[in-house]
Structure 1
Amino acid sequence: MPIRLSERRPEVSPDRLLSECVPPPRFAGVRFDTYRPNPDEPSQSEALAVLRQRGLALAEPRRERSVWSRLRGAKALSASKPGFYLDGGFGVGKTHLLASLWHESAGPKMYCTFVELTNLVGALGMRPAVEALSAYRLICIDEFELDDPGDTVLISRLLGQLVEAGVELAATSNTLPDKLGEGRFQATDFLREIQGLAAHFDVRRIDGPDYRHRGLPVAPEPWADGRVEETAASIAGASCDHFVDLYRQLAELHPSKYGALLDGVTTVGITDIRELTDENVALRLVVLADRMYDRDIPLVAGGVPLDRMFTPEMLKGGYRKKYLRALSRLIALAHVGMPPAS
């Protein structure tokens, strides 16, 4: 009998949230030496070289700061900016490079997505979060995005205090730091916070085509719902849910629990996928897609093709980059779970 994600009620403690702040299984084995720059995209080799250099510095044991340097704040540490920011499109290897930097660095260190970081602060509270995270030498933040004014103020305060404590930052995003929030809320009203965030980072642009779709440009043909159910029933640890049941369940859970929702799941089956019209539902499914991709969980799906799950209006709107990333990842997982007949 397949697992029903729609019937699970996971609970996640703050301690678990902290302990899971490491690169996901998909990136547990990556290193700088395993990154293969596209020879037609010199920015990839340049980013690799710069991050290798930063990794060498972070591999050295951490030096304790003097009382005077702590009083003077982060400016006493280095003339360079405390953060490094990789900006680029989907599937060009930004996360590979970020995880490689984490692996090369001496601890204490932390790795999380932007959503996981905001969830962690929400679970701990700002002051306990600052106290806990100030102990890290390096914090890597994947998929840095600002979706609302609350996130902007929260992250601005958090990173400002962490930089003051001497924490080094590394981040990836599909948006330049001074453009965060554009198209999603009135970013001009929060320009000071956004500029403050941007000031923490040296930015490196990395270009190239989405490697996940080289040779896989379109979504696989959806299966009949009966085939999805039968396949899920035949795989140990597989889940199978009706699309509506699944997204209703996601509405009942805090996004910090979506990873725990997938505990022990080897394949995700979804029947009767439909085109979405509610942006709240769509954004929750983006987070679930990220957690599935982190865990490298194959997908088997029925209903409309995956590339029709988000409306054309959504793919042109302020969250288009989120939706395109989710499609890129879901299609990659579907090609694993639904290989073409040989």
Structure 2
Amino acid sequence: MTSRIRSAYDIRIEEGVIAPDPAQEPLIAAMERLEEDLARRGLFGGLPEVRGLYIWGPPGRGKSMLMDLFVTSTPEPKRLRAHFHAFMARIHDLVRQWREGDAKTRKAVFGTHKGDDPIPPIAALIASEARLLCFDELQVTDIADAMILGRLFEALFEKKVVLAVTSNRAPDQLYLNGINRQLFVPFIEQIEARCEVVSLTGERDWRLHRLTGGKVWFSPVDETARQGFEDLWSDLRGGEPEEPAHLTVLGRDVVVERTAGSMARATFAELCGRPLGPQDYLAIAERFHTLFLEDVPLLSPANQQEARRLVTLIDALYEAGARLVTLAAAAPEALYPEGVGAFEFERTASRLNEMQAADWMTRERSV
């Protein structure tokens, strides 16, 4: 009998949404194994321990797309699909609620638990919500995350929670050279013991292949340009669902409403029309390898504040080596034609032109 993940994958190929890639076959096989194991039941109907999946490899090989297919096709009813950073933001908030709450408040959120350690009640709460935890883009750079992960997942695994995760790094390369990394090593050991590690390192970067040599600047904003912009977004998404992403920046919640894996899409008004600053744009550039920016208007002294934010955004993307697809009123050199600020914008226009080149698309990201 054909597995659900195999059927979903074959249907996508038949519909032309994705192209077959032999490098993805070992991962499909591993997902079939996980699907079968999740369906098993132990003695007297109990849940057996199930080995999860840790999927790693460079961007553009189909990790997020296949994870989405697995999540939507698995019959496991108690499943949670989340971006890793959003999950950890929730964990830290639960830690805060536990530490700041009195006995009555703690019981209302976590149920009855003894002691003052927040990890066991948090693990119990997560386990009650999901048997299968699916994370995209596991990347540990925050010492607060690093310090909590080992104990949290030890408690989750004890409750037979199953982990399926994607990452650009092999397990032993996580939090490399991080502060107090020796305290993080137990988490790596748990991942390697509790998960099947599968590398997806095919030679072809499907998203990069679609971008390299293709049009990434669409102007002016007419029906033809908008359709080209929309078609490229749809093509690169490859059927991945859109969802909002929450970035924690200096204690604030910065929301990017339309994201798919490591790609984000936003309007000029959303990113430059509100008071975002350098740290916000740096967080966006770090989190997403490709930004689709639409409806960039002509710039002038009348919208100089928005223009300055655009300059800061482009600088952050440029320094991070991120890719940019733009729907704008004019070509970069004609976006800010005259007036105060036009001369300063010439440097940004130069960067925008550089970021359209094929060799930009193939350069290695710096974050």
Report the TM-score when normalising by structure 1: 0.58
Q: Deviations over 1:176-212 (max 9, x none)?
A: 1111011554535633343334333211011233322
The residue that corresponds to 1:134 in the other structure is 127
Within-5 A mapping of 1:58-77: 58=38, 60=39, 77=48
Alpha-carbon shift at residue 92 of structure 1 (Å): 1.2
Greater C-alpha Rg: 2
Residue of structure 1 aligned with 2:82, choices 112, 123, 135: 112
Q: How does 1:105-184 map to 2 (within 5 A)?
A: 105-125=75-95, 126-135=119-128, 136-183=130-177
Q: Is the 8 A contact 1:110 1:138 kept in 2?
A: yes
1:87 has 2:68 as partner: no
Alpha carbons 2:34, 2:52 under 8 Å: kept: no
Q: Is residue 258 of structure 1 aligned with residue 265 of structure 2?
A: no
User: Are residue 212 (structure 1) and residue 182 (structure 2) matched?
Assistant: no
Kept in 2, the 8 Å contact 1:139–1:167? The answer is yes
- C-alpha distance in structure 1 between counterparts of 2:161 and 2:82, whole Å: 15
Residue 146 of structure 1: SS of its match in structure 2?
A: coil
- Against the structure 1 CA distance between its residues 267 and 260, is the aligned structure 2 distance closer, same or farther, given a 3 Å change threshold? closer
Q: How does 1:298-309 map to 2 (within 5 A)?
A: 299-301=294-296, 309=316
1:194 paired residue number: 188
Contact map agreement 2:55 2:199 (CA 8 A) in 1: yes
Q: Secondary structure at the match of 1:144?
A: coil
**Contact 1:62 1:137 (8 Å CA) reproduced:** no
The structure-2 alpha-carbon separation of the partners of 1:165 and 1:309, relative to structure 1 and needing over 3 Å to count, comes to: same
Instruction: State the distance in 1 between where 2:138 and 2:170 align.
Output: 10
Note the C-alpha offset of 1:38: 5.9
CA distance in 1, matches of 2:250, 2:215: 29
2:65 partner SS: helix
Partner of residue 233, structure 2: none
Structure 1: gaps spanning 5 or more residues: 1-29, 71-76, 233-248, 316-323
Partner SS state of residue 97, structure 1: helix
Q: What is the CA–CA distance in structure 2 between the aligned matches of 1:83 and 1:308, rounded to whole Å? A: 39
Residue 269 of structure 1 corresponds to: 268
> 2:176 and 2:36 mapped to 1: Cα distance?
35
Letter in 1 for 2:32: R
Which string of whole-angstrom CA distances, capped at 9 and with x for unpartnered residues, describes residues 100-140 of structure 1? 22222321111111101101112223444312211222111
Q: Deviations over 1:145-177 (max 9, x none)?
A: 111222112122221111100111100000011
% same residue: 20
For residues 255-279 of structure 1, what are the alpha-carbon distances to aligned partners after superposition, in whole Å with 9 as ceiling and x for unaligned? 4x625799xxx95225779xxx966
What is the aligned counterpart of 2:10 among 19, 33, 36? Answer: 33
The residue identity in structure 2 corresponding to 1:42 is P
| CA pair 281-88 structure 1, distance change in 2 beyond 3 A | same
Distance in 1 separating the partners of 2:75 and 2:19: 25
Match of 1:205, as an amino acid? Answer: S
**Among residues 53, 62, 65, which one is paired with 1:96 in the alignment?**
65
Q: What is the distance in 1 between the residues matched to 2:193 and 2:158?
A: 13
CA contact (8 A) 1:269 1:299 kept: yes
Task: Find the counterpart in structure 2 of residue 51 from structure 1.
Answer: 31
CA distance in 1, matches of 2:329, 2:89: 35
CA distance in 2, matches of 1:184, 1:301: 39
Change (3 A) 1:164 1:250: closer
**2:260 counterpart of 1:283:** no
- Matches of 1:61 and 1:339, distance apart in 2: 56
311 and 222 in structure 1: CA distance in 2 versus 1, 3 angstrom threshold: same
How far the C-alpha of 1:99 sits from its partner, in A, is: 1.8
Give the length in aligned residue pairs. Answer: 252
- The higher relative CO (CA closer than 8 Å, separation ≥ 6) is in 1
Q: Tell me the TM-score normalised to structure 2 length.
A: 0.54
**Residues 9-38 of structure 1: per-residue CA shift (max 9 Å, x gap):** xxxxxxxxxxxxxxxxxxxxx933345576
